[in-house]
Structure 1
């Protein structure tokens, strides 16, 4: 990938003299460093390096993101006992990297999740599950870990450095699931993080090990049909494989009972399937339409699939792999032709999908859109498609099942066609999101972008791989804008940098991409990059000739001046922006952000009436159109103005309103900024203990953002002044205790605490 400077150099000649010659060096502008040892950097002095604090907790209140158990777990007692020992953080030496190795469908993921749940009480900084199967390009494993840890990283440091910095003093367990297709990236990440974080352990799953010198490899075999001696298990019946078959058969067919008559045929089925859990579950799901005898007979035919031709050799691993693929192929053969076609076409989705996406992407030819809902239900009944573990409206495929469908899609000659249809669907979705962003549908779009993150990333990868410059630019511009507003700054930076190095043609798509890239840099606190991209964006907007685009560009130009503390220059740029009718699309949002920046500039210059007039205007416009993003910042600025004017009740009320609105939109930047203001209002009322807790809650979020107070010297100075006032009010010892209480709160608990009105203020 080309560097940012390369992108700058390629764009500068196209835009002429409006842009300074060459990419400015970092020394061209004064830095805004965070003072070492200041209270702003209390938590390990990491606020300026992209360190973040996870917000998720388990139902028991522990940190982590382990998904809930949705189906009963069968067997693996010896493996779990072994993993209990290996994953003990008190264990010295080996065990910091444990890899579960086995063929597809053998149950590595479910075993890893169960072992991780058992280990979680021993890891105070969390057990974190990282799904790698949705990744379709190299170099993204670090991104996936950042997202799983909920590190809302807004820095520009290398992702490995960000992870190492946060994990350095933590006792945490990271589960890397399905490493086989990104094995080198996983190995590189583990090699970098284990020395940097002594309290960190990894549990990985895959079809082969990572190759780390201290790695402990645990071979995961299929479930035993009987015990080691071939004797009956508890209750006089065979072992784990049959237990699994019995439970899944009862789910598929209410009349199924495992007794002396059914145990023999059921055990025969399990033996035919070599005890592979996924194969057993697929077979058991057929008992609603086949008897046990018919099931055994059909399996005995060993119906071939094209994938059988790929599984050669006589070693146990390949043969078991062939057993699984044959079992999947057998399930495939039992499907109706249109069910098989839908299965193949669904393989292009990553991370889940909803019915509307399936209808749009997968319909065509013998598969009309109107039939897809019923066919999906049929595939769910057969355990081929699963309900998403956290959202019943969404569906997903297990990796082995999706891979099988992908091979059939290639055999049908439809792979590229379906991938382009997938791209078109999500490109259209992103375009609609940008078009409707500045409306009452904004919150829904934020939720949609988060839910579809994996598919949006896959669509973006496809657009780049197709080497269709205009399509890639349009896709990156839309997706990059949405990712910027929904917390995926690194993803936005990654895709925008790639398209902006390709000498894109002038026009609205280029302006939108440049605006998003500059706006990303603002939130990252990378003010040098923000200035460079803002200059290119302004020139491109002028060249385009759209007056609203010119107004939108004023935000990124004036915003970086504001954050540098160059308030007079910022005021000139922002005041000169024309007051045009506010649009419903992304440019309308940019228009409101120009006004927000102007209100903040007035505020920091001490012009409280000017700041209030503009903030009131934005709040009113936000209320009229039902959007929340700009409105929440307007409430925040009004709270700051109220505080400056001495109206403490209004300041606390507006700040609490802003905290709730920002949290609904996942706007951690807005939450952090508002908490600083709320703390100042609360200490002014005399409640220093509560103010100290609020400062600590806010500090954890500022760390998540990667740049304290967005590197603004004015905002950092205000924060330090509040901290000093609180210490004077309650004393250093009390401040330290109250601050520690705030630091101990989870993100969700902290936001709820901030939103409480305890004193009617």
Structure 2
């Protein structure tokens, strides 16, 4: 294992990690905060597994985020939050961890091995948030990682502990009524114009007592003061809910702690105070995973008495009542807290609408990914990449729903589209998972099957799994040959030629790739494959040492890329042109083209492309006479390759080229200076390193 220190992207600033900004003031919990800070301080606390345990809505996540913000500097390799509430099926916890760490994993081994390999020798804190519905998977992951990673600590928030040896549990009680609960209620009610004073304090205390001091219940009640007086609110909370609400307010197992029942009853009262259409929208919004935008809510939640034209206004009302929350970092998106979503899902089930609304959710995102496939090879490519990343949790939930449909054609078509998008946006394991399940039943021939076979083979290529890629290439070629679509045949040639090129069989690769007919470039995913055929051909010429042919083809790709408005293939072509510049001795052009390639790959979060561009840039910079800067660039590039799980894609030619760059830099500046500069580059934070590489000096 590596003992190097590295950091993935950390967009929130303040050091590595992915902690979101706090969006509300924090009230109380002084003792719990002090306890957490002490135990999470590596110089003081001795326990490496801590769990904050309490009923839903008691403030576990908020307490954790406040404490983490205070201790993050003690973890040089980051504090990483893994939000597990969007997961709907077992077996995905490891993938969620990889995504949170922003490891663009290209490998095919177990996810726990990928995380352990990356985190070895590092000091970091992993936060598993909302574990209760995937408790066994979380426990298995922690049991594997903690013994292998001495520098790792894990903080868990859950309604029950993991039950592992050495786990230190903080039971989180509700807020004390006479102090913190009243303060929180008054703080949240201030937005309605409410002011706490001596006259109304006894009533506020009574409200807080009836709500057991549970923070979420207090916030929901406080939001109601925009339409009820304090006395009316107090009176409503003293009334007995209707019998149907009793049923919905009970825990799902029919038992559970009284405070859980108190919270669900409080949510039930909030539900009862909603207008009928607000209740219906709340129930239907429960099908979303992770978050949603107004447009998706209008398409999925409309129907019957709820017209699409009223949804935006109703959604605004639910936000005012604290039932729906704006997303932490994107004000155009919304989300439901876990227990609020659970209540809505219970109500949706009671209404008999669950299956129908889930199908609408599936079909909405099925249409979305089909449009993404159709428009990928256009100027909307970057926008589709961002959309795919933003909607990841919903896409995964919709794909899971499609896979349960008896009509396997639905799952096959969606897997073909989504697998393609996930492959190009860095989610290779998700792409592999859905494509393997969709193709496992040996679907009948047709365009969707061919596209799915292509996407699966393309995933294997990026994973460096060349034997598997060869098998999928053969199957895709056979399928394409039976269709009346000559572009599908060209696309299949990319899989065959790409696999041969990465295996070092360059002459065979060139024969396959150069034999493809030159057809008009399409705008869809197979249009992207057409460009990738030419990229693979140029790449093969380059590795064979035929720089003139490599450049000719790469410049053709660049021209076609500009005409299409796409960036994925064009950025690879920019990198190849940079390498031919070097071969011609045109050093300035090599530096400029390598930086252009780096920028293009950055637009699409293409980690493999970024790593390749950094290798080329290092070679160009040493040729320009700056060996120290080149060594730092190799260090930055090595860190990025580490995130992919396969250095230089395990290609013998790429590994040899990278080694030749290193030897030249060492010869220029000496071993000692090389090691120091390399480690300096490797130690840079991810975005700091890319900013350094993009500088023009």
What TM-score do you get using the length of structure 2 for normalisation?
A: 0.98
Cα distance, 1:57 vs. partner?
Answer: 5.6
8 Å CA contact 1:307–1:404 kept in 2: the answer is: no
Match of 1:20 in 2: none
Cα distance, 1:305 vs. partner?
Answer: 6.6
Aligned counterpart for 1:241 among listed residues 181, 195, 200: 181
* SS of residue matched to 2:406: coil
* SS of residue matched to 1:693: helix
Cα distance, 1:648 vs. partner?
Answer: 0.4
* SS of residue matched to 1:99: strand
Residue 56, structure 1, aligned to residue 10, structure 2: yes
For 1:52 and 1:101, how far apart are their aligned partners in 2? 32
Residue 73, structure 1, aligned to residue 26, structure 2: yes
* SS of residue matched to 1:377: helix
Match of 1:9 in 2: none
Paired residue total: 695
Match of 1:431 in 2: 370
Residue 132, structure 1, aligned to residue 71, structure 2: no
For 2:79 and 2:295, how far apart are their aligned partners in 1? 34
For 2:666 and 2:200, how far apart are their aligned partners in 1? 74
Any residues of structure 2 matched to 1:483-498 within 5 Å, and which?
A: 483-498=422-437
Any residues of structure 2 matched to 1:294-305 within 5 Å, and which?
A: 294-304=232-242
Aligned counterpart for 1:158 among listed residues 106, 110, 129: 110
Match of 2:595 in 1: 656
Aligned counterpart for 1:544 among listed residues 483, 508, 518: 483
* SS of residue matched to 1:216: strand
Residue 259, structure 1, aligned to residue 197, structure 2: yes
Match of 2:517 in 1: 578
Residue 173, structure 1, aligned to residue 125, structure 2: yes
Match of 2:677 in 1: 738
Structure 2 residues not aligned, in runs of 5+: none
Greater relative CO, 1 or 2 (CA 8 Å, sep 6+): 1
Superposed CA offset, 1:631-666 (max 9, x none) = 111111111111111100111111111111111110
Cα distance, 1:581 vs. partner?
Answer: 0.5
8 Å CA contact 1:304–1:330 kept in 2: the answer is: no
Alignment RMSD:
1.6
8 Å CA contact 2:464–2:649 kept in 1: the answer is: yes
Structure 1 residues not aligned, in runs of 5+: 1-40, 46-50, 227-238
Residue 358, structure 1, aligned to residue 312, structure 2: no
For 1:390 and 1:461, how far apart are their aligned partners in 2? 26
Residue 285, structure 1, aligned to residue 203, structure 2: no
Cα distance, 1:306 vs. partner?
Answer: 4.2
For 1:471 and 1:316, how far apart are their aligned partners in 2? 39
Cα distance, 1:168 vs. partner?
Answer: 2.5
For 2:375 and 2:153, how far apart are their aligned partners in 1? 44
For 2:479 and 2:255, how far apart are their aligned partners in 1? 61
For 1:515 and 1:532, how far apart are their aligned partners in 2? 11
Aligned counterpart for 2:42 among listed residues 89, 92, 96: 89
Superposed CA offset, 1:132-179 (max 9, x none) = 010000000000001101111110010111112222212111111111
* SS of residue matched to 1:395: strand
Structure 1 runs (4+) greater than 6 angstroms displaced:
none
Cα distance, 1:311 vs. partner?
Answer: 3.1
Superposed CA offset, 1:282-311 (max 9, x none) = 000111111111111111114247463363
Superposed CA offset, 1:33-58 (max 9, x none) = xxxxxxxx9x559xxxxx98522264
Cα distance, 1:59 vs. partner?
Answer: 2.1
Residue 146, structure 1, aligned to residue 85, structure 2: no
Match of 1:273 in 2: 211
Superposed CA offset, 1:451-498 (max 9, x none) = 000000000111112232111111111110000000100111111111
* SS of residue matched to 2:164: coil
Cα distance, 1:628 vs. partner?
Answer: 0.9
Any residues of structure 2 matched to 1:292-691 within 5 Å, and which?
A: 292-304=230-242, 306=244, 308-309=246-247, 311=250, 318-691=257-630
What TM-score do you get using the length of structure 1 for normalisation?
A: 0.89
For 2:135 and 2:303, how far apart are their aligned partners in 1? 36
